[in-house]
Structure formats: structure tokens, C-alpha cells
Amino acid sequence: MAFEQIAFTAANMPQAQDALEQLAAEYGNCAIEDADVIVPLGGDGFMLETLHKHIGSGTPVYGMNRGSVGFLMNGYEARGLRERLESAVAVLLHPLHMEAVTADGGSETALAINEVSLLRETGQAAKVRIRVDGVTRIEELICDGILVSTPAGSTAYNLSAHGPIIPLGAELLALTPISAFRPRRWRGALLPSRAIVSFEILDAEKRPVSAVADFTEVRDVTKVTVREDREQTLILLFDAEHNLEERILREQFLP
């Protein structure tokens, strides 16, 4: 694929803005709607913002790290960008679709590229009933929260909560508790990517819970349903020697 038209976007930080100026001077900077590829400059947070903003465009995204973490980004180098783009490896991702019902009877939806997480709002632990494909799997989980993670997000919040790292292409989701109190020995589950997971908040008035899909928070939820949205496809580009599959694999062998 030829990448003649490149659209650069940059986080609001000096190193990202400097890179934007340098790259735009060398390659030009077309409008997003005319681009063959979008190149965000920043860290993983800015990459997620860019993916959410252009999730329905179908335009490939090739991030370059001008932030702190950069797990979803390629290394920064101004020279030879078009050659790097032409030899890059494409990774296809499907986001999670969250539907949250609130205590006032309202309903909100959002998409998540990394994870959907439920979190207690007060000092009291949350009580959550968990169903997978309509079958009750845990009648009452007492916890600080619980999350559903995609493979791409499995090295983020999910890993911090001691969830499993999932290789891309595994067609799995991680269901991971956050500081579970009861059942004490439950450490989560791996689910088929097409599973529909629903959470019912027990004693919601006394133990309020919020639901967060990446950046979108819905407070005081009573029921949350999460499924993979197969109608939405994100195309991420990575340098062949540093592709996302290799990064996820390597992460599992870090000391």
C-alpha cells in the first residue's frame, strides 16, 4: 500500500509538538479525511485518544513514541518514514462495546480498546453478580472492582490487577477481579472473544459502582453488559521487528 498522504497529530507536550513540526516540514501534513495513514505522536494515552476519535474511518494508524510508555507506539525516527510505513505489519483489533444501565433508569454506551472496568465509588466494597452468555458464573463477588480486557489491553490495567497477558489472535478476553475479597481464591477467567459478559450490581444504593470504558466513565450503574464489537475494526501498523505480537510475547518473560 502506498502512503502518500500522511496526517500527523501530536500530544500537547514539547517533544511531541517538536516532532510534529519536523515531520510536517519533511512530509507535509494532510487533512485526516484525505489521509492514507494517521501518525499520532505522543504516548499510549494519546494513541488511545486518536484511535477513539477515528474509530470508524478505517484509516491505518502508525504511532510514534513521543511520550512516556509507548507500548502501542513505534520508535521515533524522522528519516525514512514512508519506507517504514510500507514495510510495517498490520494488526487488526476489535474494541469492546459497553452498555451501562444507571440507577436513574438511563442507559449509556461506549467503546473500549483496552478494557471495561467496574470500580467501587465509596469506601465499601462492591458486590457484583457475574453472568457469561446468560449463565450465572459468580452469584456474589465482593471486590474493589472487576474488568474485561482485550488482548491489546491485557498488558495495561489488566496486568496491574494480576490478570493474564493475552497474545493477539488468541480470540480471548480476560475477566479479572480487582482486589477480590470473596470468593477469596478466585483469580479471574479467560473467555472466548465472542462471549457476552453482564454484571449486576448488588446493593447498588449502599455500594455504588462506576463503569469505565477506556476514557468514558458512567457512574452509579446497576447493570453493565460487555461484548466485542465485531463491526468495528481498528488497523494498527507496527515496524516488523517491533510488532505488537512480539511485544506482548516479550512482556510475559520480563523479570
pLDDT digits (tens, 9 = 90+) for 66-78: 987 778 899 999 9
Residue ranges covered by each domain of the chain:
6-93+233-251, 96-228
pLDDT digits (tens, 9 = 90+) for 171-212: 999 999 999 999 988 999 999 999 999 999 999 999 999 999
Q: How far apart are CA 186 and CA 176, in angstroms?
A: 9
Reply yes or no on domain 6-93+233-251 having CATH 2.40.50.140. no
What are the C-alpha distances in Å from 12 to residues 32, 71, 77, 108, 145?
A: 18, 19, 19, 29, 32
**What positions carry a catalytic annotation?**
44
- Low-confidence spans in the chain with pLDDT less than 70: 1, 242-243, 255
Count the neighbouring beta carbons within 10 Å of the beta carbon of residue 123: 6
Task: Give domain 96-228's CATH number out of 1.20.120.1730, 2.60.200.30, 1.20.58.1000, 1.10.10.60.
Answer: 2.60.200.30
The backbone torsions φ and ψ at residue 43, rounded to the nearest 5 degrees and listed phi first, read -110, -170
**Parallel/antiparallel/unpaired status of strands 37-42 and 64-65:** parallel
Same fold, 6-93+233-251 and 96-228: no
pLDDT at 1: 67
Which residues lie across from 178 on neighbouring strands?
145
Query: pTM score, two decimals?
Result: 0.89
SS3 199: strand
CA angle 96, 97, 99 (to 5 degrees): 140
